[in-house]
């Protein structure tokens, strides 16, 4: 995987996630109902611009103390090693093993720490807190819940595949997230997605502009659909 350069990343950030989704569909590299997370993974700062980054992954649990959890084998340094093994910018993706989530890994402290590590946001099936402080920091939260306590939260696995919002995310996967939700972008088409998004936008604009026009008729609309979203040829 060759990381995208700053210009390519900026081109992806310039589009909302629905446009990214539409663009990915044009390449026919995966089923249309895969890659976008389910709506329970909700954006909590919808006023922020889209974030794009490479996934760093872990699994957490908060319902039992770490010394009572037989799965615990993670040291803080292991997590930081994993983060630094992934290109920047980074998005943290966390699978919460508690159902329902009971303790938040995320708040003002971890948001500041991970921002310093080049992370731009978190996507989690668990919870988040310290909402006002993190909003001011400009660190994006997409999460299933907003929680009061961190309880006994601890990491039980880092650097492996996780499942969040119905999507399996592997370390290094490229993600795009905004007020609509989160979607993964296949690496082999990532550099071409912005151009594809513009192509789809240009096609859709024909229909939108016609629907807004005083000349709108049902027959004219159907003609444009039959033409594959192209403008009808004018008679000489």
- Name the more confident of 229 and 142: 142
> How many Cβ atoms sit within 10 Å of the Cβ of residue 177?
27
Q: What is the per-residue pLDDT for 96?
A: 98
What is the spatial distance between Cα 175 and Cα 185, in angstroms, rounded to a whole number? 6
Listed range (1-5, 19-23, 155-159) with the worst mean pLDDT: 1-5
Q: What is the per-residue pLDDT for 228?
A: 59
Q: What is the per-residue pLDDT for 230?
A: 45
Say if CB 27 and CB 189 are below 8 A apart. Answer: yes
What is the spatial distance between Cα 89 and Cα 84, in angstroms, rounded to a whole number? 11
Percent of the chain scored above 70 by pLDDT? 96
Rg (CA), the chain: 21
pTM for this one?
0.92
Cα–Cα nearest to 139, from 230, 208, 43? 43
Q: What is the per-residue pLDDT for 229?
A: 52
What is the spatial distance between Cα 172 and Cα 202, in angstroms, rounded to a whole number? 31
Give pLDDT tens digits for 66-78: 999 987 878 899 9
Q: What is the per-residue pLDDT for 5?
A: 97
Give pLDDT tens digits for 153-179: 999 999 999 999 999 999 999 999 999
């Amino acid at each position: 995987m060759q990381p995208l350069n700053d210009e390519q990343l900026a081109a992806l950030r310039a589009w909302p996630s629905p446009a990214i989704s539409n663009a990915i569909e044009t390449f026919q590299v995966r089923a249309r109902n895969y890659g976008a997370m389910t709506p329970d993974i909700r954006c909590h700062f919808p006023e922020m611009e889209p974030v794009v980054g490479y996934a760093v992954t872990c699994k957490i649990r908060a319902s039992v103390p770490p010394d009572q959890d037989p799965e615990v084998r993670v040291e803080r340094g292991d997590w930081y090693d994993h983060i630094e093994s992934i290109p920047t910018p980074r998005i943290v993706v966390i699978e919460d093993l508690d159902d329902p989530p009971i303790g938040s890994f995320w708040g003002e402290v971890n948001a500041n720490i991970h921002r310093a590590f080049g992370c731009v946001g978190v996507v989690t099936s668990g919870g988040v807190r310290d909402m006002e402080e993190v909003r001011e920091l400009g660190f994006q939260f997409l999460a299933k819940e907003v929680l009061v306590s961190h309880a006994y939260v601890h990491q039980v696995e880092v650097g492996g595949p996780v499942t969040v919002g119905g999507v399996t995310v592997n370390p290094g996967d490229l993600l795009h997230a905004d007020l609509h939700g989160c979607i993964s972008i296949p690496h082999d088409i990532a550099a071409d997605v912005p151009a594809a998004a513009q192509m789809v936008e240009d096609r859709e604009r024909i229909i939108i502009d016609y629907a807004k026009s005083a000349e709108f008729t049902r027959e004219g609309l159907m003609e444009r659909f039959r033409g594959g979203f192209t403008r009808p040829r004018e008679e000489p």
